[in-house]
Amino acid sequence: MGGIHRVAMMWRRIFLALVVVMVAVTAFRYLRQPGGSSEPPSSTVPAPASAPSPPAPTASAESVQQGLSTATHEAELVLEALQTRNMAALAAHVHPVKGLRFSPYIHVDPKRSVVLQPRELSTALEDPKPRMWGSEDGTGDPIVRSFASYFARFVYDRNFLAASERRVNQFGGKSTSKPNVREIYPDATVIEAHVPGTKPEYGGLDWASLLLVFERYESRWYLVALVHDQWTI
């Protein structure tokens, strides 16, 4: 009996050892499978997407329109000063640094055209001194006139204040002269007052336009040029 008992005990230990081995092998195979783990799977939370960078600020259509409206209002005040020949009022709208350029034709000559500072305008109509303002269209003769004479011929030779035709940043195209205002003042706002021809014998060619050229300086629109336009040969 003693021998049988020892043999039974030995087989029992062998059986338990085999069970332990089988369990270990099964666990090892499970751990080697993809995704196999002895720990419970953890939930993956995606990282929050970074917020897009705000767009670069641009001038809104509303702000551009407000700027044009302001320049248009300044143009109205300038035309009122010209209509009443109030040079002191005109000087208040002139660019304090660049002054006011006068051009008898729409093709501006930056070397020969006259530029007056605001302080010079106040008494300009009373100044008899002749100045060289440019060259006559067709003949090429020099335009030598006093300020008052030039003003009457090449600035306010029509009632531009009452002109029904106004254009903003659109000008030229009526005469044979090529406009170059944009080349000289690329960032300007240009207000054109146009008076159509009235004399039938001239076939409508007695029209005239006045261009008021404004530039922005220290948050305000200032007049930098008065450019006369008419039919040219």
The 10s digit of each residue's pLDDT in 15-69 is 566 655 565 555 556 555 544 444 444 444 444 455 455 455 454 555 555 556 6
102 close to 116: Cβ distance less than 8 angstroms: yes
| Average pLDDT of the segment spanning 99-103 | 98
Q: List residues bridging with 131 in a β-sheet.
A: 145
CA distance readout (Å), 50 to 54, 55, 56, 57: 12, 15, 18, 20
Averaged confidence pLDDT in the chain:
82
Indicate the pTM of the whole model.
0.71
pLDDT score at 178: 87
| Average pLDDT of the segment spanning 154-160 | 97
pLDDT, tens digit, for every residue of 60-93?
555 555 556 699 999 999 999 999 999 999 999 9
pLDDT score at 36: 44
pLDDT score at 203: 87
What CATH architecture does domain 66-230 belong to?
Roll (3.10)
pLDDT at 206 over 70: yes
Say what percent of the chain tops pLDDT 90.
Answer: 60
pLDDT at 13 over 60: yes
pLDDT score at 16: 60
| Cα–Cα distance for residue pair 230/226, rounded to 1 Å | 13
Q: Where in 15-125 does DSSP place strands (E)?
A: 100-103, 114-116
